[in-house]
Amino acid sequence: MAAGTLRSAWVFAALCAAGLGVTAALAENAPGQDHGADGRPQTSAVGHDGSQDDANEDAEARSHAIPACAKDPDKLGISRVVEIDSTGGPVFGGSHTHNAFLNDHEVVLTFDDGPMRAYTRRVLKALDDHCTRATFFMVGRMAVADPAMVREVIAAGHTVGTHTYAHRNLKAIGLLKARSDFELGYSAVTKAAGQPVAPFFRFPYLSEGRQVLDHLKKRNIASFFIDVDSKDFQTRDSDVVYKRIMSQLNVTRKGIILMHDIQPSTTGLIKRLLDTLHDQGYKVVHIVPKTSEPTLAEFDVPAAQALAAKGNKAKPGSVSDHSITATMPDKDDPEPETASNAADHLPWAAKPAAKPRRAPKPSVQPQPEDLPWQTRSFPN
């Protein structure tokens, strides 16, 4: 790596890795920064032969570009863009260290379960204030409920992946239903976005099943597990969640951080977290897809129907911070969810635990079947 690169502390790498996505070796050998004619750093798309990608990929390259504000030393910014090759369905994060691509003090910011306008917007604002970028693993049903919010996240330069349609535990429902929940979610988020989204997936509850992983491999969808778990759904107390994240980071010193852009604790901590990451010398790595992967026509149809149904129900401008309507076309879960406040009513957006009047007894574990999914003893 060139000394100049080290001096500037800017390392921009668009990594092209054959087979199982990026590798640690590739990360270590990441190409140094490129400078355009104006001297500003750019993201370069490096193919397997090291050449610049063709002009027909210019649009994609632009979406991977690092904004000039990321140069501001007072902002967290972005240290690298890592291009993930999803061919063959690679798995990243958590115990999947064979695919590790983060160096010491590098993090990937991820937000699951949204979008939920009232909270997602606050997260976007905090990210924008630090000129940094994240990945949003969106639930199809939520995307259908507020497609404009999906597009807003994309327009802000963030990566959008998917997180099923109805946030089911795919390991528990059999391959056919699991495949449907994944595919319908992928189609729904894509339809809501109005453009291809990243072929990046996160399992609800981080509960992967071998059969579903095999399906994702065939579909060339990359799965992302986590290294730092905010468990922001367990409390509204941002201070607790902030300390939980930082205490884990102090041990791992890097990793994929899981938060939820539907949780008030996360919206309450995000600015403080980004400030601290900056102060402690952490660097944000932005993950982007090398290519898009097609949705399946059989799921595009119900996804489009769900989106149209939402559009028919919604009056112009009716999707506000406090009004979200989602329609579920799947026969297994047919009930439409209408909420005056989605955080209080949508099944996967169950209201986080209010601050207890008395300290809970940690030895008493509620039974999962008695609780909304977010307070179950699953890790996600």
Q: Which stretch binds Zn ion (CB under 5 A): 75-83, 104-112, 234-242, 323-331?
A: 104-112
CB 197 within 8 A of CB 162: yes
Half-sphere exposure of 40 (CA within 13 A, CB side): 11
If the CB atoms of residues 85 and 183 are measured against Zn ion, the closer one turns out to be 183
Interaction residues for Zn ion, span 169-208 (CB under 5 A): 204
CB of 139 to Zn ion, least distance (A): 7
CB 182 within 8 A of CB 216: yes
If the CB atoms of residues 17 and 326 are measured against Zn ion, the closer one turns out to be 326
CB of 290 to Zn ion, least distance (A): 25
If the CB atoms of residues 46 and 145 are measured against Zn ion, the closer one turns out to be 145
For residues 143 and 135, what is the distance between their CA atoms, to the nearest angstrom?
15
For residues 234 and 354, what is the distance between their CA atoms, to the nearest angstrom?
9
If the CB atoms of residues 112 and 232 are measured against Zn ion, the closer one turns out to be 112
Interaction residues for Zn ion, span 213-272 (CB under 5 A): none
If the CB atoms of residues 111 and 282 are measured against Zn ion, the closer one turns out to be 111
Size of the site for Zn ion (CB under 5 A): 3
CB 106 within 8 A of CB 256: no
CB 81 within 8 A of CB 61: no
Q: Which stretch binds Zn ion (CB under 5 A): 107-115, 246-254, 300-308, 311-319?
A: 107-115
16 residue type, one letter: C
CB of 245 to Zn ion, least distance (A): 17
Q: Which of 159, 212, 186, 163 is nearest to 294 (CA)?
A: 186
Q: Which stretch binds Zn ion (CB under 5 A): 19-27, 111-119, 247-255, 298-306?
A: 111-119
272 residue type, one letter: R
CB of 188 to Zn ion, least distance (A): 15
Q: Is residue 112 part of the contact set for Zn ion (CB under 5 A)?
A: yes
Q: Is residue 113 part of the contact set for Zn ion (CB under 5 A)?
A: yes
Q: Cβ-closest residue to Zn ion?
A: 112
Q: Which stretch binds Zn ion (CB under 5 A): 38-46, 112-120, 229-237, 314-322?
A: 112-120
If the CB atoms of residues 41 and 185 are measured against Zn ion, the closer one turns out to be 185
If the CB atoms of residues 80 and 202 are measured against Zn ion, the closer one turns out to be 202
φ, ψ for residue 271, nearest 5 deg:
-65, -45
Interaction residues for Zn ion, span 128-157 (CB under 5 A): none
CB of 343 to Zn ion, least distance (A): 14
If the CB atoms of residues 43 and 230 are measured against Zn ion, the closer one turns out to be 230
CB of 130 to Zn ion, least distance (A): 24
Output the CA–CA distances (angstroms, integers) from residue 195 to 207, 308, 369, in the order listed: 28, 16, 37
CB of 344 to Zn ion, least distance (A): 17
Output the CA–CA distances (angstroms, integers) from residue 21 to 14, 58, 227, in the order listed: 12, 21, 18
Task: Give me the helices (H) in the chain, please.
Answer: 3-8, 24-28, 58-63, 117-129, 140-145, 147-155, 175-193, 210-219, 238-252, 264-279, 297-313, 342-345
CB of 141 to Zn ion, least distance (A): 12
Q: Is residue 85 part of the contact set for Zn ion (CB under 5 A)?
A: no
Q: Which of 139, 164, 287 is nearest to 215 (CA)?
A: 164
User: Residue 88: left (phi > 0), alpha (psi -120 to 50), or beta?
Assistant: left
CB of 204 to Zn ion, least distance (A): 5
If the CB atoms of residues 112 and 293 are measured against Zn ion, the closer one turns out to be 112
If the CB atoms of residues 106 and 232 are measured against Zn ion, the closer one turns out to be 232
CB of 357 to Zn ion, least distance (A): 28
CB 86 within 8 A of CB 293: yes
Q: Which residues bind Zn ion (CB under 5 A)?
A: 112-113, 204
